[in-house]
Amino acid sequence: MSTTPWRAFRAVLRRDVGLGMRRPDDALQPLLFALIVTVLFPFALGADSARLAPIAGGVSWVVALLALLLGMDTVYRSDAEDGSLDQLLISGQPLAMLCAARMLAHWLVVGLPLVLTTPLLAALLGMPANTIVVALVSLALGTGVLVAIGHVCAALAVVAKRSVILVPLLVLPLSVPVLIFGAGAVQATLVGLSATAPLLLLGAGLALAIPLAPIACAAALRLNAG
């Protein structure tokens, strides 16, 4: 039974999602981080909901971005260290497919729970209900792009010395447009305007990221580990 790229994609997807489910830490730690940081804001700014509700959209977006960055450095590093990355490189399968599978797995394990807990976090900061729906949609689209960008930067830094700040430093300038449009969608809904334009732009970003990011990620992996 020969392996097609699609079978390889499914194999990597199954492996990474299985690993993620067996180690709930990967999913729970970003969630816990998001919850803790969200809770810090009322402590820092005072419990006045009139002050918290306007910034709730931006805060939940920043918190989601930071929570995603927590586990970004290790997505390829552990494989590079134990040699499985070399196996992926010589497997004969298109490396971009394998990177795409890993991005999807990472989003399913880490990104999706973050998206689904946003309503809770947003409600803690006093976001109104219709805005929470827009925040959910914008995060669902935006976390996809952020995971893609994060993987490309993690692949670029896979042979770099271990550093807490390197991958976040690389990701943050590239993720600024996503943040602007994502938080912009929530802000627009908050003041009563339509959020369609920023959401469509986010969708466009995701549509670009899905084919292009795996190619960039594969190029970075071949460059560093090939």
Q: Is there binding between residue 157 and another protein (CB under 8 A)?
A: yes
Q: Is there binding between residue 169 and another protein (CB under 8 A)?
A: yes
Q: Is there binding between residue 127 and another protein (CB under 8 A)?
A: no
- The residue (of 92 and 173) whose beta carbon lies closer to another protein is 173
Report the half-sphere exposure of 134 (CA within 13 A, side-chain side). 28
- The residue (of 37 and 172) whose beta carbon lies closer to another protein is 172
- From first CA to last CA, the distance across the chain in angstroms is 27
- The residue (of 123 and 159) whose beta carbon lies closer to another protein is 159
Contact present, 119 and 140 (Cβ < 8 Å):
no
Closest approach of another protein to the CB of residue 59, in Å: 16
The string of DSSP codes covering 1-30 is: -PPPHHHHHHHHHHHHHHHHHH-THHHHHH
> DSSP assignment, residue 161?
P
Q: Is there binding between residue 84 and another protein (CB under 8 A)?
A: no
Q: Which stretch binds another protein (CB under 8 A): 1-9, 32-40, 139-147, 165-173?
A: 165-173
Q: Is there binding between residue 120 and another protein (CB under 8 A)?
A: no
Choosing from 176, 197, 200, 207, the residue that interacts with another protein (CB under 8 A) is 176
The Cα 125–Cα 50 span in angstroms is 10
The Cα 1–Cα 8 span in angstroms is 12
Q: Is there binding between residue 220 and another protein (CB under 8 A)?
A: yes
Give start and end residues of each alpha helix (H) in 157-195: 166-190
Residues near another protein (CB under 8 A) are: 152-153, 156-157, 159-161, 163, 166, 169-170, 172-174, 176-177, 216, 219-220, 223-224
